[in-house]
Amino acid sequence: MQNWYPGDKEGKGGIFNFVTKRGKCAGRNSRISWTQVETGSAITWKYPSVLLIGDNSVGEFYSVAVTNNRQQADTGTKMVHIGANTKSTIVSKGISAGHGQNSYRGLVDVKRNAVNARNFSQCDSLLLGDRCGAHTFPYIEVKNTTSRVEHEASTSKIGEDQIFYCKQRGLSTEDAVNMIVNGFCKEVFRELPMEFAVEAQKLLGVSLEGSVG
């Protein structure tokens, strides 16, 4: 979880956060799972990656990235399939508010000997307001014929209808937005330990305060 200073409303004074994180699944049946929640920094570049060398090894990447005001987040992962029967899962949730920009940038690289490799990627973007942006750059390179690679992507705008529905049931706009955003992130949050998940939900609420209505 990273929540560096994002700067003022214009992003002035904010941290530029460039992170390098790599993991190596060297042995058979090994597994590495990255789960990240990015809410801070003026600009974030972060691509936690996994080298799947051992046969049957598993790599996972679960990500929630929130940008508000002038924040930019460019984040994703690299899954390099080298061993046989290696598997990877990528779930990326980007939330953009204000003038925030969110990019998913990821590479699924299946090498020649990675027979029966398997990847599933899902990139969902949620937009709050009409000045923010969401971008997806999925790179897929497959060098054998036995692998299966799937990529799903969606972009949705938080709907007036959804907010009105919540309000008609008695919830404030802020609570409605929090609820909708947290629902959107659920697949990632359930990968977190309970204490973290609670913190992550609150952090999201703070990051998006006043972004709608």
Partner 1 sequence: MSLLEVRNLHAGVQGNAILEGINLRVEKGEIHAIMGPNGSGKSTLAGVLAGREAYVVTEGEVLYQGKDLLGLAPEERAREGIFLAFQYPVEIPGVTNMYFLKAALNAIRKHRSMEELDAMEFLSLVKEKMKVIDFDQSLLNRPVNEGFSGGEKKRNEIFQMAVLDPTLAILDETDSGLDIDALRIVAEGVNKLRSPENAVVVVTHYQRLLNYIVPDFVHVLIDGRIVKSGGKELALVLEEKGYDWIRGESGAVTADAQEAGSK
Classify strands 118-127 and 87-96 as parallel, antiparallel or unpaired. parallel
C-alpha 184/C-alpha 34 separation (Å) is 19
Q: Single out the residue of 161, 193, 194, 195 in contact with partner 1 (rule: CB under 8 A).
A: 161
Regarding 179 and contact with partner 1 (CB under 8 A), the answer is: yes
Give the helix ranges, DSSP H, for 72-185.
Answer: 160-168, 173-184
Question: Per CB under 8 A, which region of 31-39, 79-87, 145-153, 163-171 contacts partner 1?
Answer: 163-171
CB nearer to partner 1: pick between 3 and 173: 173
Smallest gap from residue 53 Cβ to partner 1 (A): 35
C-alpha 55/C-alpha 115 separation (Å) is 10
C-alpha 32/C-alpha 11 separation (Å) is 34
Closest CA to 99 of 174, 159, 9: 9
Regarding 175 and contact with partner 1 (CB under 8 A), the answer is: yes
Regarding 195 and contact with partner 1 (CB under 8 A), the answer is: no
Regarding 182 and contact with partner 1 (CB under 8 A), the answer is: yes
CB nearer to partner 1: pick between 28 and 190: 190
CB nearer to partner 1: pick between 110 and 176: 176
Q: Single out the residue of 13, 27, 159, 210 in contact with partner 1 (rule: CB under 8 A).
A: 159
Regarding 166 and contact with partner 1 (CB under 8 A), the answer is: yes
Contact in structure between 71 and 6 (CB atoms under 8 Å)? yes
Q: Single out the residue of 168, 193, 194, 195 in contact with partner 1 (rule: CB under 8 A).
A: 168
Q: Single out the residue of 12, 20, 145, 169 in contact with partner 1 (rule: CB under 8 A).
A: 169
Using the structure block, give the residue that is written with the tokens 């390099």.
80
CB nearer to partner 1: pick between 49 and 63: 63
Where would I find the beta strands (DSSP E) of the chain?
16-19, 22-25, 31-38, 43-46, 49-52, 58-67, 72-75, 78-81, 87-96, 101-110, 118-127, 133-142, 148-157
Where does this chain bind partner 1 (CB under 8 A)? Answer: 159-162, 164-173, 175, 179-180, 182-187
